[in-house]
Amino acid sequence: MTDFTQLSHQVAAVARRAGQFIRQEAATFDRAHVQHKGLHDMVSYVDQESERMVVAGLRELLPQAGFITEEGTTGGDSQATNAGTELTWIIDPLDGTTNFIHGLPCYSVSIALLEGTELVIGVVYEVNLDECFRAVRGGGAFCNEEPIRVSGTPALGQSLVATGFPYSNFHRVDAYLAILKEFMRGTNGVRRVGSAAVDLAWTAAGRFDGYFEFNINSYDVAAGILLVREAGGRVTQFLHDGDPIFGREVVASNGSVHAEMQGLIGQYWQQ
């Protein structure tokens, strides 16, 4: 039987090693090395090499597990490899690539482990602040091994929330902008950090009271979802409690402001 607590510490070490590589490359990175996967969807050798490092490290820890990766270095092209396995890694080797390319200091390595359909490990390593967030199913959430909890903010009107903006799929942008306007009016502020994994980690740590985003991928949010839940928060889809890992939309909060967030979103968002 797998000891997920022990494994989570080993996963954190893998994330830190990849983060060290990213930090070193950031010092001399040349934008001429950027490639485009799609509209405003950029990738560099740093993303690809970081993913290779993470995959190699995780394969040593758990050879039988499959993978869902962003850059497809396992041959899965963002799909699960070793399909049908009980354990699946979900990896974003550099969440916040646009920030990295432009020299904006907020990006992370995100690693989650699914057992069947349930998250059992989540690790987010924010490279610039050298903060490693770690969670295990039923074992709480930590930042650099200090316990973290979601905020105690009781109402949306007293909250600070985070979000992300669509960069390629704009077909629901009008509804999103209407929602954003309401959050701007109804909170202490809205922040756009540029890394969904960090948004969730900082919600788990009580720095944000909530976070929402649509058109999001599993590898962006899987690790952070477990962090928020293990820190005492709540994570759902926009209008219901459906699967936020693969559902392409996420609302995360300290729990107290969750119903208000969903209610506000529901005024403009239709399934």
Cβ neighbour number for residue 210 with a 10 Å cutoff: 31
Residue 94 among known ligand-binding residues: yes
Q: Which domains does the chain have, with CATH numbers?
A: 4-147 (3.30.540.10), 156-266 (3.40.190.80)
Phi, psi dihedrals of residue 140, rounded to the nearest 5°: 85, 180
Residue 70 among known ligand-binding residues: yes
Per-residue pLDDT of the chain (271 residues; tens, 9 = 90+): 789 999 999 999 999 999 999 999 989 877 666 766 544 455 678 889 999 999 999 999 999 999 999 767 665 444 444 444 699 999 999 999 999 999 999 999 999 999 999 999 999 999 999 999 999 999 999 999 999 999 999 999 999 999 998 776 677 889 999 999 999 999 999 999 999 999 999 999 999 999 999 999 999 999 999 999 999 999 999 999 989 999 999 999 999 999 999 999 999 998 6
Residue 243 among known ligand-binding residues: no
Residue 92 among known ligand-binding residues: yes
Residue 220 among known ligand-binding residues: yes
Nearest CA among 111, 121, 9, 78 for reference residue 217: 78
